[in-house]
Structure 1
Amino acid sequence: MRIDKYLWCVRYYKTRNMVTEAARKNQITVNANVAKPSREVFPGDTITFRKDQITYTIKVLDVPLSRVGAKLVDIYRKDETPPELFQQMELMKLAKEHYRRAGEGRPTKKDRRDIDGYYEDAEDEIHTED
């Protein structure tokens, strides 16, 4: 089975076109070799690809005949991605949402004063250490 069809079948990408674009950008490797979208995959192959700032590593256990349901995906692949990468991604999301939640708009005048005060305090600390 082609790599673009395989990654689409095991639900890592929403469309085959997205897989093709990732392969053209050299974001997908099979057994440590850069893969074209038409590269054939076989059971036992190790696929590494980057998606959403996470480098996934999966091992091909079997090749599905067509796209499978989410509950059946584990029959066809073994996810060997380190869990630390997912924890790091969660921390990045929390850091972005810490100050202002998405959709709350621009900073208010008070928010800007607080931000400026923070930067001034940081500069004062740098100058006092010298």
Structure 2
Amino acid sequence: MAATGSEESSARVDAWIWAVRLTKTRSIAAAACRAGHVRVNGDRAKPAQSVKPGDEVRLFHEGRERIVVVRQALSKRVGAPVAAEAYTDNSPPPPTKVEAAATGLRDRGTGRPTKRDRRELDQLRGR
């Protein structure tokens, strides 16, 4: 019988983030840990830090903060339905398309913003 990691009481944070499908690859999860984008119970996490049920994991990935509480420690990647049961998602909702568009994205190929463009972007952002 193959072990799925559900029998374990703890798992590496980078492996757990990958196993529950918060990132596409384990190397992306480890890089996020090394860059300081992962916090476990409020403290910066190294890739090898252990997580156990009840821990709060905060991950800043793809421009969004994910706040999840570990319900089950997994070290191997599992299917999406099982992965969804391994954590409780307390993340704020993702920004709507209108909010995302209001961030001042420029069209591809328009070059660097001029001084006038930069001032307009700063006004839009409320600076």
Relative to the length of structure 1, the TM-score reads 0.67
Higher relative contact order, structure no. (Cα contacts within 8 Å, ≥ 6 residues apart)? 2
Distance 1:65 1:24 in 2: 19
Which structure 1 segments of 5+ residues have no match?
108-118, 123-130
Per-residue CA deviation, residues 15-65 of structure 1 (Å, 9 max, x unaligned), is: 111111111111100000100000000000000110111111000001125
What is the percent sequence identity of the aligned residues? 28
Structure-2 residue corresponding to 1:38: 48
One of 48, 57, 65 as aligned partner of 1:47: 57
Corresponding residue number in structure 2 for 1:87: 95
Q: Structure 1 or 2: larger helix share? A: 1
1:106-121 to 2 correspondence within 5 Å?
none
CA RMSD of aligned residues (A): 2.8
**Deviation of 1:2 (Å):** 0.2
8 A Cα contact 2:16 2:75, kept in partner: no
Q: What 5-or-longer segments of structure 2 have no aligned partner?
A: 1-10, 111-116, 121-127
The 4+ residue runs of structure 1 with deviation greater than 6 A are none
Give the aligned residue type for 1:17.
Answer: S
SS at match of 1:87: coil
Task: Give the number of aligned pairs.
Answer: 104
3-state SS of paired residue (1:29):
strand
Which structure has the larger Rg? 1
TM-score by length of 2: 0.69
Aligned pairs (5 A) from 1:1-130: 1-83=11-93, 86-88=94-96, 90-95=97-102
Q: 1:91 to 1:64 in 2, by over 3 A?
A: same
Cα gap change, 1:99 to 1:19, in 2 (>3 Å): closer
